[in-house]
């Protein structure tokens, strides 16, 4: 007969409890989104939760994706459930035309639709190994910022300077010109008619488990997980007029 000592019992109980927690999935598990309950869906991550460990720990990635982004998608679908005319409107068009959204749900669409667009972009541009951009994007950075080091310093200064919760973005126009902007809350440059090349989330939930109040350390490390190939593809799509969110 197997005898479990008191310490063993506690350990077994803790293991069972951890298994029941929504974030207690294997570190190498890939995130698969549930079926959407409306026209907008939580995108699956294109990599494992621990793919960005050089900057963001796996637990933060899962909590951020599953619960923060997931809630925004659910809330957006709930806000427009009775407004069927909005169901076929792509997310970028929805955010660019908030004045057409019924006033009673406009704030919910702004906050949750903005969050959905912001996070969908955020997941897409990470999962890489950092380094430097190449090709036309590198040329655009040199043209608009002088060099990559200056670009990073200016972007980090903007991100670290956001008061409270918000985002730092790089916008891009059809001519390929770049600019750095910041937004509070979950606002997105699409609301001003601009397209987003890339951006960093500086809400505390994006970094607090590892960095606590050290936002500058997080923003410095974030460059180590960027996928410049994907960002370059976004740049090309912006110039072609096909970039969405």
The CATH superfamily assigned to 57-245 is: Iron/manganese superoxide dismutase, C-terminal domain (3.55.40.20)
User: With bands split at pLDDT 50, 70 and 90, how would you rate the model's confidence at 25?
Assistant: very low
Q: Which of 36-45, 82-91, 236-245 has the lowest mean pLDDT?
A: 36-45
Which of 4-13, 87-96, 121-130 is least confident? 4-13
Rounded Cα distance between 132 and 142, Å, is 12
With a pLDDT cut of 70, the percent of the chain lying above it is 85
The predicted pLDDT at position 57 comes to: 98
Angle 103-125/228-240 helices, nearest 10 degrees? 130
pLDDT at 34: 58
pLDDT at 129: 98
CA–CA distance, 217 with 188 (Å, rounded to integer): 24
**Of 5-14, 26-35, 170-179, where does mean pLDDT reach its minimum?**
5-14
E-strand stretches of the chain? 166-172, 178-184, 195-201
Q: Which two tokens stand for residue 113?
A: 């639709």
Measured distance CA(118)–CA(92) in Å, rounded: 11
The alpha carbon torsion through 30, 33, 34, 36 (nearest 10 deg) reads -170
- The pLDDT-based confidence of 18 (bands split at 50, 70, 90) is very low
- Number of helices (H), then strands (E), in the chain: 10, 3
Residue-range domain boundaries for the chain: 57-245
- Give the per-residue pLDDT at 19: 37
Edge to edge, the sheet with strand 166-172 lists 178-184, 166-172, 195-201
pLDDT of residue 7: 37
Tens of pLDDT, residues 176-192: 999 999 999 999 999 99
Nearest-angstrom CA–CA distance, 136 and 229: 11
Nearest to 126, CA basis, from 25, 24, 228, 12: 228
């Amino acid at each position: 007969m197997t005898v479990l000592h008191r310490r063993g019992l506690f350990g077994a109980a803790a293991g069972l409890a951890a298994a029941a927690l929504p974030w207690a999935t294997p570190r190498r598990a890939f995130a698969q989104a549930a079926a959407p309950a409306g026209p907008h869906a939580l995108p699956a991550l294109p990599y494992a939760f621990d793919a960005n460990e050089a900057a963001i720990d796996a637990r933060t990635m899962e909590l951020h994706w599953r619960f923060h982004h997931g809630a925004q998608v659910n809330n957006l679908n709930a806000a427009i459930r009775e407004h069927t005319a909005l169901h076929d409107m792509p997310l970028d068009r929805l955010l660019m035309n908030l004045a057409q959204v019924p006033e009673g749900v406009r704030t919910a669409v702004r906050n949750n639709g903005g969050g959905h667009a912001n996070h969908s972009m955020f997941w897409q541009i990470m999962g890489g190994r950092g380094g430097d951009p190449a090709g036309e994007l590198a040329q655009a950075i040199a043209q608009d910022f002088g060099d990559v080091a200056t670009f990073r310093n200016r972007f980090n200064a903007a991100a670290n300077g956001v008061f409270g919760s918000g985002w730092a973005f790089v916008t891009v126009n059809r001519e390929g010109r770049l600019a750095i902007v910041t937004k509070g809350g979950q606002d997105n440059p699409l609301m001003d008619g601009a397209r987003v090349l890339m951006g960093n989330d500086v809400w505390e939930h994006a970094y607090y488990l590892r960095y606590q109040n050290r936002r500058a350390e997080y923003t410095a490390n974030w460059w180590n997980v960027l996928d410049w190939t994907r960002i370059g593809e976004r740049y090309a799509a912006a110039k072609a007029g096909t970039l969405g969110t």
